[in-house]
Each structure stands twice: as structure tokens, then as C-alpha cells.
Amino acid sequence: MTIRLQNVRIDDPRRHPRETVQRLRLLLSAGAEAQAESGRQDFYELNSGREVFYFHISPVTRRVLLLAVWDRPSATVPAHPARLAAHPA
């Protein structure tokens, strides 16, 4: 689903870097594809390409509560060194 929020207020209780919060604000302002979490109303994951934002949108105030951010794993994950040693080429 596309989420577009103009002039959104983002609450950040975990105190992520200001630049991270700003990236989320820009994504939401432009309109971003987000996945609604099944079983939890108004909770979303937004994959920006390089990182994933997990947040809640208040149905009353429309404020965003940024709960977590993590790096999106790359498509090519290098093999673990222990696996390489166990299976030499």
C-alpha cells in the first residue's frame, strides 16, 4: 500500500540519527510503498532499498512512531568463513 503523509510529525523514542528520521519523513512525504503488518493494525514496514523502517501510524493523530530501523541485507551475502573452510573449492 502507498502511504503519503505531508508535514508528518515523527516521534522517535529510540533516538535514531536525525538523518535517518529525515529520510523516513521524505519517503512518507513523497509517497512510499509500505507493507502493513498482519495482525497488528496501523504498524508498517517500509523498505527504502538500503534500509527498512518499522513504524506505527496513530489512527487518531496521524503521528508516526518510529520503532526500529535496520539495514536491508544485500542480495549477495558473502558466505560465512566457517562454511568456506568446511567446503573447500
- The domain ranges of the chain are 2-72
Q: Which residues share a beta bridge with 70?
A: 52
Instruction: Label residue 76 by pLDDT band (50, 70, 90).
Output: low
CATH for the stretch 2-72: 3.30.2310.20
Instruction: Label residue 72 by pLDDT band (50, 70, 90).
Output: confident
Query: What separation in angstroms does the CA of 9 have from each of 58, 66, 81?
Result: 11, 10, 44
Whole-number pLDDT of residue 32: 96
Mean pLDDT within 43-57? 96
